[in-house]
């Protein structure tokens, strides 16, 4: 959060940098500082109005959060400034910047943890900041309560089965049927171990329990098909497939996309995934959905066909084979939700096309700003920007941007 730049105090923390450090007016970076704090001669901090006591006992060590020490107002400003500063670096000025959406505590519905054996004890948690050391979680203020409940249960299972100098990658997601649990790096040694896994899954009412020994995830327990519901449609969920981090964050992104495309009747959803946007936009519209991940696309296609939703799905690698201007001419609006690397190849084609409106969803302000510059140079105006902080207390931010063709 930036304060009045006219304040000329070299020891005052003016803002939070991209990696979470506080920054003084003369450019010094101070770990653990919040905007409005003042750096003391001995290196300590005189706390200001934007500091709060971190709620989690693990905050000083755990790499899962960087910003628990700032208030919600300062956190929202940080998310907005991360998005804006990337754009300003490309000399782009959005028309309207909407209020930042912050996901609440204990709302994260996916988590990837690590389990390691340290002598007779097993530690399970996130890695320490800047280290491979595992923080043994006693509490977590970002995970959904159903995921947090699983931590001691999985730790106890690992204590029984995890070998000496071995480790597991433990991935969990909240799905319609409960908890989807995937363990990577473990192969059961005999019938007793296999029976222990099934007994664990049954006793804890898991939706699915899968193992990945290096050849892909295989379920050992799945009493009924696992689904996630997107815009009222149940979609088959591949093990730990991409899913927006929080349900409320997903809703905020979808609302911004809907507002961006307005009454457009023919919409292309590019990098569609499981259909977060395609399924939320298909009512009263014709939607084309392109996705390179075959498992995700098959889930979307099956759900759309079952519900007769009128979504045309296409297994297509948009990095290698982006939609051309001729293909793009069919659409009134394009929704673009690429991975962190951005969508350079597809943006080049969009720049040469005449699509009236583009709704760009991004999880990386830097690659987004690069793509935005190309669109603006090609005749688009960035009319609206929605900053979204789904990853609460993290420096990871997301956004939705609306681009309108100036000559349309």
| CA dist., res. 133 & res. 117, Å (int) | 12
What separation in angstroms does the CA of 181 have from each of 85, 172, 212, 224, 295?
38, 5, 11, 14, 18
Edge-to-edge order in the sheet of strand 29-30: 13-16, 22-24, 29-30
State the Cα–Cα distance between residues 358 and 406, nearest whole angstrom: 12
Which structure tokens are listed for 101?
């959406």
| Residue 255, token pair as written in the block | 């609302």
| Sheet of 178-184, strands arranged across | 121-125, 110-118, 167-175, 178-184, 208-212, 217-221
264: its two tokens:
């457009």
Single out the residue of 317, 351, 309, 321 nearest to residue 334, CA to CA. Answer: 351
Q: Which of 127, 181, 191 is nearest to 157 (CA)?
A: 181
CA-to-CA distance for 153 and 173, rounded, in angstroms?
Answer: 15
Contacts of 75 (CB under 8 A, 6+ apart): 67, 102, 389, 392, 393
> SS3 of 170, please?
strand
Q: Which two tokens stand for residue 23?
A: 């920054």
Token pair 């929704």 in the structure block, residue: 335
35 CB-near residues (< 8 Å, 6+ apart)? 1, 2, 3, 13, 14, 15, 16, 22, 48, 50, 70, 74, 77
Torsion angles phi and psi, residue 378, rounded to 5: -90, 0
Q: Is 295 exposed, middle or buried (0-12, 13-18, 19+ CB in 10 A)?
A: middle
**Cβ atoms of residues 155 and 166 within 8 Å:** no
Catalytic residues: 363
Tokens of 269: 């959803």
Task: With CA atoms as reference, report the closest residue to 342 among 313, 326, 322.
Answer: 322
Instruction: Please name the residue that has the structure tokens 């000083």.
Output: 60
């Amino acid at each position: 959060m930036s304060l009045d730049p006219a304040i000329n105090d070299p020891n005052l923390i003016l803002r939070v940098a991209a990696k979470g450090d506080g920054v003084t007016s003369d450019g010094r970076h101070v770990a653990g500082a919040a905007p409005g704090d003042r750096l003391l001669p001995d290196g300590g901090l005189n706390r200001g109005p934007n500091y709060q006591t971190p709620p989690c006992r693990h905050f000083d060590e755990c790499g899962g959060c960087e910003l628990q020490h700032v208030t919600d107002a300062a956190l929202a400003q940080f998310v907005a400034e991360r998005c804006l500063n990337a754009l300003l670096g490309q000399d782009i000025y959005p028309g309207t910047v909407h209020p930042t959406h912050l996901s609440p505590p204990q709302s994260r519905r996916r988590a990837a943890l690590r389990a390691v054996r340290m002598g007779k004890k097993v530690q399970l948690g996130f890695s320490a900041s800047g280290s491979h050391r595992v923080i043994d979680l006693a509490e977590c203020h970002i995970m959904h309560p159903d995921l947090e409940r699983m931590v001691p249960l999985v730790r106890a299972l690992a204590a029984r089965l995890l070998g000496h100098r071995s480790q597991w990658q433990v991935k969990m997601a909240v799905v319609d049927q409960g908890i989807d649990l995937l363990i990577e790096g473990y192969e059961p040694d005999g019938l007793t171990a296999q029976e222990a896994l099934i007994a664990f899954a049954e006793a804890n009412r898991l939706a699915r329990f899968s193992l990945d020994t290096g050849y892909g995830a295989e379920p050992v327990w799945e009493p009924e098909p696992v689904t996630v519901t997107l815009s009222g449609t149940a979609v088959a969920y591949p093990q730990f497939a991409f899913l927006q981090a929080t349900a409320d964050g997903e809703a905020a992104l979808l609302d911004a996309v809907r507002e961006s495309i307005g009454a457009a009747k023919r919409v292309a959803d590019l990098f569609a995934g499981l259909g977060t946007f395609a399924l939320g936009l298909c009512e009263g519209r014709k939607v084309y959905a392109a996705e390179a991940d075959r498992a995700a696309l098959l889930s979307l296609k099956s759900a759309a066909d079952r519900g007769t939703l009128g979504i045309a799905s296409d297994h297509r690698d948009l990095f290698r084979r982006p939609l051309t201007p001729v293909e793009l001419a069919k659409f009134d609006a394009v929704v673009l939700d690429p991975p962190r690397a951005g969508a350079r190849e597809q943006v080049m084609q969009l720049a040469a096309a005449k699509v009236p409106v583009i709704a760009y969803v991004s999880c990386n302000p830097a690659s987004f700003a690069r793509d935005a510059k190309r669109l603006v140079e090609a005749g688009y105006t960035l009319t609206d920007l929605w900053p979204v902080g789904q990853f609460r207390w993290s420096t990871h931010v997301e956004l939705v941007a609306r681009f309108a063709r100036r000559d349309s």
